[in-house]
Amino acid sequence: MTIPVVVKTTHLNFSFRNGIKTLDDVNLEVPQGSIYGFLGPNGAGKTTTLRLLLGLLKNQDGKLELFGQQFSGHRLDILRRLGSLIEQPSLYLHLTAKENLEIYQLVYKTGKKRVNEVLELVGLAQTGRKKARQFSLGMRQRLAIAIALLNQPELLILDEPTNGLDPNGIIETRELIKKLNKEYNTTVIVSSHILNEVEKMATHLGIIHKGRMLFQGPLQELQQMKTRQSMLEIETNDNARAITILSSQYAVQEKENLLLLPYGNKQQTAGITQLLVREGLDVYAIHPRQSDLEQLFIEITSNNI
Amino acid sequence: MSLVIATRAELIKNKRSAAFWLCLIGSAFMPFIFFLTFTLRPDLNYARLAAEPWQAHLGKGWQNFSAFLLPMFVILTCSLIPQVEYKNNTWKQVFASPLSIGDIFFSKYLSIISMVFFLFVMFNVFMLLAGVAADLIHPKYTFLEKAVDWKWLIKMNFKSFISLLAIISIQYWLSLRFRNFIVPIGIGLGLLVSALILMPWEHINKVPYAFPLLSFAGSGGPEAAKSGLLASHEIYSILYFLVFTLLGFADMRFRKERG
């Protein structure tokens, strides 16, 4: 049984006017009912991808499908079924929370009752005549989420929804996302540059770096993937002989005076060292090399300690 | 019907907005100055206003209003209404909501036009109030005894409105094009001043920013009687309006990056 896919992009490429490729063959697949963590460092292409999904950028190359429909030609049908929050909250600061919602209540034709429901849901029902200008950043973010929830969307696209929030705000937003997903089966795409945060709520993960998808799949698959991608790096005094010795057991390759072979575990490393030493080779260095993915993780996590 | 809904949503955005206050204060400003001079220095005004008080008062008001204030308010309003989206960074939410590009473009357009309409209505109301209030304070004035020439007033309003359509369409396009609201305001004021300087030119009836003043100038005298309902510059105004509306819409429709 295959789970239906809510968002699917095929060979998506995008360049801004300066000619630099922002997206390079991005194939996104978001399963229905998932919380899809879209992870990558700043400038990786997350917002560009999400803007393309909403039609805020004109698609240049590749296919964009939401709810099984091509975006071009079904823009209104698609937008009616989703809610979005892109970058900073989009609010009319001279209006109250209720007035901000009334604007979109008209656009989505949801009925007035829904305004109070979403205000209740995000905990802003008591703000009364207070203007959005006087709201804290956390309150603004919650109001923006309330707008995104007005039409009871099947898909919620949230771009860095916890950016700038205090720890409490981050937890509240996370709980809200989980609640929507669990109680209303809302599919959520949530982008972030913080691995730690996404891991706490996502069921699926997509990792983008420099415009390319490095990983996509269920969260559990990530661990296996990390192991699969790792390589052992060996430096000896005679690489040619070392290759002859090791090639019967391992897929060895030589790269810039280093030998590379797929990393298994610590025992494997010790066994290889012993084997090479027994054959009279000098082993200068032997250690697991970080994969692109791990490199990326360090980048993602170290930026945000 | 979706355009009606989108326009209603636009009107909520203009609640208490800068454009709303500008129109309200802008329409009251000149009538208030008139009211002050009428009440503080009646001696200077009794004689001038004795025979035809309304005609003299409204004529003077519309003359000043048409020449500079009205086009300037329109330039400012056209900038301030799209500016609400730029300032709050809300264009992206507008374009990501299920509204067609036509609904987005024309609902904002309609809200600008209704704001200009509101400015017109309020200006007339405040002008009439200034006369009535001055008479109540100084009964020597004859505002309450003499009739308002409603036919002239309605015609003046109608022709002014038509004459403004060209400026509205140009300014709206400029305001959508430039994120920084100083740019369309600067261009608009520059063109307005140039138009006033060019007034004696024989082709002035093709210069959009001169149209409101031309409509005022054509509202009385023999010229008005023979020109029929619309003067030549008013027909040009409608043509400019159609062209720039189409251009503005096409610009929004085919833009590669929105919000």
Helical segments of A8-150, H only: 46-53, 75-80, 97-108, 113-121, 137-149
Looking at residue A230, what is its pLDDT? 74
Looking at residue B217, what is its pLDDT? 79
Same domain, A200 and A238: no
Same domain, A51 and A190: yes
**Whether pLDDT at B133 is above 80:** yes
The CATH number that applies at residue A251 is 3.30.70
Task: Tell me whether residue A26 is in a domain.
Answer: yes
Looking at residue A81, what is its pLDDT? 93
Backbone φ and ψ for A230, nearest 5 degrees, come out as -75, 150
Same domain, A206 and A267: no
The CATH number that applies at residue A116 is 3.40.50.300
Show residues of chain B in contact with A55, CB under 8 Å.
95-96, 258
CB spacing of A56 vs B92 below 8 angstroms: yes
| Domain range enclosing A172 | 5-217
Show residues of chain B in contact with A102, CB under 8 Å.
9, 12
Q: How far apart are CA A170 and CA A173, in angstroms?
A: 5
From A188, A217, A246, give the residue that closes a domain.
A217
pLDDT tens digit sequence for A95-142: 999 999 999 999 999 888 999 999 998 888 888 899 999 998 888 988
CB spacing of B259 vs A107 below 8 angstroms: no
Which residue in A61, A80, A94, A159 has the most chain B C-beta atoms within 10 A of its own C-beta, making it the best mutation to test that interface?
A94
Task: Tell me whether residue A31 is in a domain.
Answer: yes
**Whether pLDDT at B184 is above 90:** yes
Same domain, A194 and A264: no
Which of A84, A95, A104 is opposite residue B15, by nearest beta carbon? A95
Same domain, A202 and A242: no
Look at chain B and count its residues: 259
What is the average pLDDT score of chain B?
88
Total domains, chain A: 2
CB spacing of A57 vs B256 below 8 angstroms: yes
CB spacing of A107 vs B256 below 8 angstroms: no
From A190, A217, A244, give the residue that closes a domain.
A217
Q: How far apart are CA A153 and CA A149, in angstroms?
A: 6
Looking at residue B141, what is its pLDDT? 82
Looking at residue A255, what is its pLDDT? 82
CB spacing of B258 vs A56 below 8 angstroms: yes
Which of A94, A106, A108 is opposite residue B8, by nearest beta carbon? A106
| Selected residue with higher pLDDT from B229 and A205 | A205
Task: Tell me whether residue A297 is in a domain.
Answer: no
Same domain, A60 and A99: yes
CB spacing of B256 vs A58 below 8 angstroms: yes
How crowded is the C-beta side of B5, counted as CA atoms within 13 Å? 16
Same domain, A83 and A182: yes
Same domain, A57 and A177: yes
Which of B6, B88, B95 is opposite residue A92, by nearest beta carbon? B88
Q: What are the structural domain ranges in chain B?
A: 2-254
Q: How far apart are CA B157 and CA A23, in angstroms?
A: 55
SS3 B1: coil
Q: Spell out where chain A has E strands.
A: 5-15, 21-26, 29-31, 35-39, 61-66, 69-70, 82-85, 155-159, 187-192, 204-209, 212-218, 231-236, 253-255, 258-262, 283-289
Same domain, A42 and A141: yes
Integer CA distances (angstroms), B29 to A151, B61, B124, B185, in order: 44, 11, 12, 20
pLDDT digit string (tens) for chain A, length 305 residues: 577 899 999 999 999 888 888 899 999 999 999 999 999 888 889 999 999 999 999 888 889 999 999 998 899 999 999 999 988 889 999 999 999 999 999 999 988 899 999 999 888 888 889 999 999 888 898 899 999 999 999 999 999 888 878 888 888 889 989 999 999 999 999 998 888 788 888 999 998 988 888 888 888 777 666 666 678 889 999 888 889 888 888 888 888 888 888 888 888 889 999 999 998 989 999 988 766 666 666 655 555 43
Amino acid at position A68, single letter? G
Looking at residue B228, what is its pLDDT? 67
Same domain, A71 and A166: yes
Task: Tell me whether residue A299 is in a domain.
Answer: no
Same domain, A13 and A155: yes
pLDDT tens digit sequence for B159-178: 899 999 999 999 999 999 99
| Chain A: residues touching B (Cβ < 8 Å) | 51, 54-58, 76, 79-80, 84, 86-88, 90-95, 99, 102-104, 106-109, 147
Same domain, A37 and A104: yes
Cα angle: A230, vertex A234, A235; to 5 degrees? 150
CB spacing of B89 vs A90 below 8 angstroms: yes
Q: How far apart are CA A274 and CA A277, in angstroms?
A: 5
CA A194, distance to chain mean position in Å, is 9
Residue recorded with tokens 């300014």: B171
CB spacing of B92 vs A57 below 8 angstroms: no
Sheet-wide strand order for A283-289: A253-255, A258-262, A231-236, A283-289
Q: Please say whether the dihedral angle defined by the alpha carbons of residues B83, B87, B88 and B93, taken in this order, is positive or negative.
A: positive
pLDDT tens digit sequence for B95-132: 999 999 999 999 999 999 999 999 999 999 999 999 89
